[in-house]
Amino acid sequence: MPYIHAGRTRRWLHILALAAALLAGMLATTVASAQQFINVLTGGTSGVYYPLGVALSQVYGRVIPGAKTSVQATKASVENLNLLQTGRGEVAFTLGDSLSDAWKGDAESGFKAPLNRLRGLAAIYPNYLQIVASAESGIRSLADLKGKRISVGAPKSGTELNARAILKAAGLSYADFSKVEYLPFGESVELMKNRQLDVTLQSAGLGVASIRDLATAVKINVVAIPPEVVARVGDPAYQAAAIPANTYEGQGADVPTASIANFLATHECVAADTAYLMAKGLFENLDQLTAAHAAAKAIRRENAVRGMPLPLHPGAERYYREAGLIR
């Protein structure tokens, strides 16, 4: 009898081990099937979108169950929105005017047809149009730009679209410059350091790394964009603003400029629960974004749906209704 009992015990232990292995395999399969890939589309590595995107991906990796996050450096707004439309990203940083143009399908802005799969996630912080010249170029005003060498951002990027709009409002065109380069922020700054460019126009959050780098290498002038020029743009996305004194080394006074709201966008194929957690995770972890870049200090939950130029994702809308921002 003891031998028979021991045999039965071994058989039961074997059956239990097989059952445990089967259960573990089923759980692993369930977890794998629940895994979500969240690619965060940003901008150039020397801008503001990229460090904030890295911080946001870390937040999403922590608060969204099964999330596998990644961060992609891009040419920013226009490229990001076209990538979202084709499902090659789940969340993207973008300027408000680019987002509006994408929803309408403005071909001149880089959108051959309306990007109707896009959905809004949140309004975040404002970009400031920052026209920065080397002091030795003699550029102190918009009128001084004529005949100079300028970089206006990557072709049909959000920055370059902003450059076209503000220069047109100032009565200038690219033909008025001796040289026009279409370069990301970091490359523009390197050319200025090497005296191959006179001025760079960058649409970014305050304290952008590229301009801070430039200001520590050469003496700069931050060129004013007067309120009347901003008004002549004729687009409500452009608002008169100021770059506060001492934002950059050698900038001793406030400088008038234009600001444009930034947004986070997603697309309709992102699950509602995921978009809900994207919006919630953003606003419940602003300290982590602020640690990545000071521009995030301007992000406010009460402004999350302000000026949104396209429909909200239903998941984000649910979060804002719970927060009392939408009735």
Helix axes 49-63, 272-283, angle to 10 degrees: 120
Alpha helices in 39-127 (DSSP H): 49-63, 77-85, 96-104
Rounded Cα distance between 193 and 71, Å, is 29
Residue 238 is predicted with a pLDDT of 93
With CA atoms as reference, report the closest residue to 93 among 45, 63, 48: 48
- Chain segment 181-235, per-residue pLDDT in tens: 999 999 999 999 999 999 999 999 999 999 999 999 999 999 999 999 999 999 8
Hey, what are 39's tokens? 């690619």
Rounded Cα distance between 316 and 176, Å, is 45
Question: Residues 140, 201, 282, 241: what is their CA dihedral angle, to the nearest 10 degrees?
Answer: 30
Q: What is the biggest distance separating any 2 CA atoms in the chain, rounded to whole angstroms? A: 105
Residue 208 is predicted with a pLDDT of 93
Alpha helices in 90-208 (DSSP H): 96-104, 158-169, 185-193
Can you list the domains of the chain with their CATH numbers?
A: 33-124+262-322 (3.40.190.10), 127-260 (3.40.190.10)
If you count them, how many residues does the chain have?
327
Residue 203 is predicted with a pLDDT of 94
pLDDT < 50 regions, the chain:
1-4, 24-33
Rounded Cα distance between 102 and 76, Å, is 13
Rounded Cα distance between 71 and 61, Å, is 11
From residue 186, alpha-carbon distances to 116, 126, 163, 292, 302 in Å are 33, 20, 17, 18, 33
Own/partner contacts of 244-247, CB < 8 Å, gap of 24 or more, are 244/206, 247/206, 247/207
pTM of the model: 0.82
Rounded Cα distance between 102 and 171, Å, is 26
- Chain segment 243-265, per-residue pLDDT in tens: 999 999 999 999 999 999 999 99
Rounded Cα distance between 302 and 299, Å, is 9
Beta-carbon count within 10 A of 303 CB: 16
Burial of 104 (0-12, 13-18, 19+ CB in 10 A): middle
